[in-house]
Amino acid sequence: MAFNFDLRVDRSHSDSTKWHKYRDRDVIPLWVADTDFLSPPAVIEALQQRVAHGVFGYGTPPPELTGLIVERMRSRYQWAIRPEWIVYLPGLVCGLNLAMRAFTEPHQAAIIPTPLYPPFAEAANYAGRHVYSAPLHDEGNRLRLDLTAAEPALNGDQALLFLCNPHNPGGTVYRRDELEQQHAFAQRHDLVVCSDEIHCDLILEPGCRHIPFASLNPDAEQRTLTLMAPSKTFNLAGLGASFAIIANPALRHRFKQQRRGVVPHVDILAYVAATAAYRDGEAWLAAQLDYLRDNRDLVMARINALPGLRMLPLEATYLAWIDASALPVESPYHFFLAAGVGLTDGAGFGDARFVRLNFGCPRALLDEALTRIERAVAAL
Positive/negative CA dihedral, 324, 313, 293, 179: negative
Start-end of H helices in the chain: 17-20, 41-53, 63-77, 92-103, 119-127, 176-188, 218-223, 231-234, 249-259, 268-280, 282-304, 332-338, 363-379
Q: Considering the domain boundaries, does residue 215 fall inside one?
A: yes
Which of 279, 295, 315 terminates a domain? The answer is 279
**Whether this model's pTM surpasses 0.95:** yes
- Same domain for 71 and 211? yes
Per residue in 248-281, pLDDT (tens digit) is 999 999 999 999 999 999 999 999 999 999 999 9
pLDDT in tens, 72-82: 999 999 999 99
pLDDT tens digits along 116-168 = 999 999 999 999 999 999 999 999 899 999 999 999 999 999 999 999 999 99
Q: At what angle do helices 268-280 and 63-77 cross, to 10 degrees?
A: 40
Shared domain for 100 and 210, answered yes or no, is yes
Using CA atoms, how far residue 310 sits from 116, 141, 327, in Å, is 18, 11, 10
Contact 192, 141 (CB under 8 A): no
When pLDDT is cut at 50, 70 and 90, the band that residue 1 belongs to is low
Residue 140: its pLDDT value, please? 87
Distances from the Cα of 79 to the Cαs of 14, 66, 122, 222, in angstroms?
40, 15, 30, 13
Number of structural domains the chain divides into: 2
The domain that contains 298 carries what CATH number? 3.90.1150.10
- Among positive and negative, which fits the CA dihedral 120, 68, 204, 9? negative
Quote the distance between the C-alpha of residue 98 and its chain's center: 17
Question: Final residue of a domain: which of 279, 308, 343?
Answer: 279
- Spatial CA neighbour of 216 closest among 243, 244, 187: 187
What would the pLDDT profile of 10-54 be if each residue is shown by its tens digit? 999 899 999 999 999 999 999 999 999 999 999 999 999 999 999
Q: What average pLDDT does the segment 66-75 reach?
A: 98
Domain ranges, residue 140: 57-279
Interatomic CA distance for residues 254 and 299, integer angstroms: 43
Domain boundary among 263, 279, 295: 279
List the Cα angle 334/313/206 in 5-degree steps: 140
Q: Judging by DSSP bridges, how do beta strands 158-164 and 109-114 pair with one another?
A: parallel
Inter-residue contact 296 to 314 (CB < 8 Å): yes
